[in-house]
Amino acid sequence: MYIADLHIHSRYSRATSRECTPVSLDMWARRKGIHLAGTGDFTHPEWRKELKECLKPAEDGLYVLKEDQAVKDNITPDLFAPRFVVTGEISTIYKKNGKVRKVHSLIILPGLEQAEKVSAKLENIGNLHSDGRPILGLDCRDLAEIILDICPEAVYVPAHIWTPHFSLFGAFSGFDTLEECFEDMSPYIHALETGLSSDPPMNWRISALDRYQLISNSDAHSPAKLGREASILDCEMSYSGLERALQTGEGLYGTIEFFPEEGKYHFDGHRKCGLCIKPSETEKYGGICPVCGRRITIGVFHRVEELADREEGYVPENPPVFESLMPLEEVIGSAMGKTPASRSVERKYMEMIERLGPEFHILRTVPEEDIERHFGNLIAEGIRRLRNGRVELVPGFDGEYGKVKLFKPYELQALDGQTDFFSLIGDVSAEEKEEAAAVPEKQKETGKEEKRREFVLNREQQEAVASISRYTAVIAGPGTGKTATLAARVLYLMETRRVKPSEITAVTFTNRAASELRERIGRELGKRASLGNMTVGTFHSICMELMRKSKVKFFLADEEEALEIAAEASQRTGTGIDPHRLRSLVSYVKSQDRTGDESMWEAFDEKGEALKVAGAEYSRIMEERGLWDFDDILINTLMLMEEGALSAGSFSYLLVDEFQDINPLQYRLIKMWNRKGRELFLIGDPDQSIYGFRGSDPQCFKKAAEDFKEMKIIRLRENYRSTPSVINAALKVINGNPGEERALNASCEKEDCPVRLVKAAGHMGEAIFTAKEINAMAGGIGMLDAQHVMESRDRKKVRSFDDIAVLCRTRRQGELVEKCLRQEGIPYIAAGREAFLRHEKVKGTIAFMEYLDDPENLHAMKRALSFIWGLEDSTASRRVIDEASDRYASVFRRKRADKFMEMWMKETDSEKTEEMIRLRNMAVFYESCGAFLKELLTGVESDLRRAGGRDIKAGAVRIMTLHGAKGLEFPAVIIPGVREGLIPLKREGSAVDTAEERRLFYVGMTRAEEELILVSGGEESEFVSDIKDGLLTREKAPGGKKPPQGEQMSFL
């Protein structure tokens, strides 16, 4: 028979002791009398490396400390060498069934080799380097499947199943049944860790747990805390023996328990107010603290009461043995009238270990007379009382540890040696607590499920959808159901007016918006009808499809290649113009549909002549190489349509989304497509026109009304997205622009809270606060975080990571935020066209994919040869790329994009190239290589996404620019950089378009559904002054001080 403690942590976990090393864990296991200890933290690469260096194989699947590593002293018992088994804890935070779930799981593996394999898979999903207990935005059901697929012999144990914040049955973020959590993986779960605030009798009250093995462990964060709880095993000392005991109960003799009352979440209560109450009293007060009016923290006992289907005191037949103990230091401290941490208690503890043996031996089996003979009657009496259960229990609550008392103060004043005195004292019962003060009125319930509004239209939306006007313009403010109205309009045309899908074209601003529109319409149609040949896409994708149908061949220079050519043009002409500026201005001139107007160049600045020369050289190089840039696609489509060389397309019913962001070139295309059409439907919002640098004009609706005299104009003002505070604050900002007073009506029933303006210390301070705040929004990603957060955020809704977006004015800001999220271990997805796409291997990979997609694209072939193989075009070099093409052609057609990338990275020896890793992390979003390539070539900023890891099952925070956030919405939005010089953005040598910057900030603010946080690391933005104080709360970001770490008591 032996004692096992399987749930512990290394020094690589947060809030753990530096002493959590293999050597110290071995030493304290011997002092405690623990024969088998978990390694903890197997997912952390540095800890695995340390384990390999310090441990050697012992029995099947177990390890032992190498002889030259063990501590040799006169205190630590040397009766046995503790064994280690590979274990680790994984924290998962995700949304399921409409609720944020936070669950911890204990994983037990048969060896370090299996730990490597499991970790390699999990590395694709989240950050394993920042915390020994990694945080993954992954469903527990999926985590179980991943682990058991890789290692069928693994044991998956839901950890401390009753802890309020992070557990299977936790009051705040858990489930009511194991099956709800694990679904079809439920049959593979056989053991449950009861945790420190519950004991077997509490768990026996739930009949659904009868079939599971109940085990106990310490969850120690320092070596001296080992064995606070443990399991007693009567089986072979091997992994197979352990697995059998945990999976079947064969060999699981019993458990050593903490007194559940000593756990810090046993009773209900509110620590700040000193309120500790029973579940019945919590019900009486409606869950609200009668002292301060805030939410009461629900304890384990309350949660057990909620799920129990048996009365308190129920005992099953042949129950497993369990013993309730307290640490020896606490017994000694009680007997000496000292705190357990005092020097005198520590000395006495070491003396007892040296003379009597390990701690569990002393507490459980050493004869009391031997203890009395060597260490006096008070310590002996304390252990006698502990063994007999004669203790006074003061329950823990709301993060406050409970207390186990062995003596009354007056008893310690009795003369030493009066042992008969103690025999006269009966069992001590806990004192009854006084009833709390009068209860305030029960507060309004929140968190109701919002009703789905898709295709449930208000009067103005119905008017827009059913319009039969030749020209209809819908001015749709943020959150007013623009996409739903557009989708409903298509459905109305198809189902009510019986328009053929092939006669309908819907133009969207992004590829993602096109996909979303198709999905919405298809979802509503179901099996009633098909979208058929309806055209849905961006201007560029529609033009490219028209070219394809008419067999017009062209080669596209993506944005990165266009920048290369701009740099070459600048160099050839000796003008020294920045390539980004030249490329941007060339695009602007083309978008204005004025390429032949030389005066356009002179209007920019004093370098007008140089710009004109460099721009002409850019165009000449493009033509020389037979390439088009994005603008050329539209220009040439117009030209070929005017010449009758292109298919006329299907433009009888033309719908244009985000009309406010079109430029003159696109407007000319609209008029061309609509020339023989029947109806034109435009929808957008002038106040969300944010692409002036690309030629868009907020006056576009006014221009359209002048061109189409009989145009019907409809305004949508009912906002179904945001709370009143968000809407009113945003309106204050946008009304600073010229024009009539804007109006939006808040029509959602979400709980309202003011917009927050947080003052931080500089750029990095903004990013650090953002990461810490996301931690808080998710309810804390560690148990100590959670305890601190529950107080600081009061009753604000707990968010899943994918509820949260960080919207930045510049990409540099996004990089800082990304760095801080990585440090916090928070999963994220970054959006935008990033600098890594200009890396040679990345450009070469994209070119190779283009060549695989179209073997006639010789330009792509040459680029791939140059960037990947460093070769010029020749007969010999073509053999090289053709051999590679033969190997990868079927892979490109049949495999997912990320699988293609993994194979290709191995082929090109770029598995450790950071830029290629980032490209692979973009590929995870695409089912096919063709879809990935299309996005790389034609996707706008919000189309391009990159995961923080290789797997996207995890829920993740979104990081994007304010421009990239257009058209999206999130329950919680953080905007860092709301300071002078950044919002509005002021660049040296460039005029500030304050009106457009104000519109951009308005767009960012109105992405928020419920919670909006503005962060300023300097002088506040001038736009903030427009927001009245009643709509805005000001606060300061926490400084260098860390949040309270909490004291870790024994037997947690």
* Residue numbering of the annotated binding site: 476-483
End-to-end CA distance of the chain: 24
Taking a C-beta distance cutoff of 8 angstroms, is the pair 463, 714 a contact? yes
| Alpha helices, DSSP H, located in 793-896 | 811-824, 840-853, 858-864, 875-894
Strand pairing partners for 5? 37
d(CA 105, CA 163): 12
- The DSSP H or E segment spanning 192 is strand 191-193
Q: What is the largest CA-CA distance in the chain?
A: 114
- Please state the residue numbers annotated as binding site for ATP: 476-483
Contacts 24+ apart (CB under 8 A), 758-761: 758/1013, 758/1014, 758/1015, 758/1016, 758/1035, 758/1036, 758/1037, 759/1016, 759/1017, 759/1034, 759/1035, 759/1036, 759/1037, 760/976, 760/1015, 760/1016, 760/1017, 760/1037, 761/1017, 761/1037, 761/1039
Write the CB contacts of 357 (distance below 8 Å, at least 6 apart in sequence).
33, 77, 79, 366
d(CA 458, CA 23): 69
Question: From the centroid of its chain, how far is CA 158?
Answer: 21
d(CA 235, CA 180): 33
Extract the tokens encoding 967.
């058209």
Taking a C-beta distance cutoff of 8 angstroms, is the pair 510, 940 a contact? yes
Buried b / exposed e over 384-422, threshold 16 CB at 10 Å, is bbbeeebbbbbbbbbbbbbbbbbbeeebeeeeeeeeeeb
Question: Which residue in this structure is represented by tokens 């840039």?
Answer: 629
Selection from 320, 341, 322, 323 nearest residue 332 by Cα: 341
- Round the CA-based radius of gyration of the chain to a whole number and report it: 34
Selection from 178, 110, 176, 174 nearest residue 144 by Cα: 178
d(CA 531, CA 955): 31
Write the CB contacts of 45 (distance below 8 Å, at least 6 apart in sequence).
119, 128, 129
Selection from 563, 690, 603 nearest residue 993 by Cα: 690
- The DSSP H or E segment spanning 1016 is strand 1008-1016
Taking a C-beta distance cutoff of 8 angstroms, is the pair 4, 233 a contact? yes
Selection from 776, 767, 873, 865 nearest residue 812 by Cα: 767
d(CA 916, CA 922): 10
* 177, amino acid identity: T
d(CA 55, CA 312): 45
d(CA 904, CA 794): 50
d(CA 1049, CA 263): 9
Taking a C-beta distance cutoff of 8 angstroms, is the pair 933, 905 a contact? no
Taking a C-beta distance cutoff of 8 angstroms, is the pair 64, 56 a contact? yes
- The DSSP H or E segment spanning 1006 is none
3-state secondary structure of 928: coil
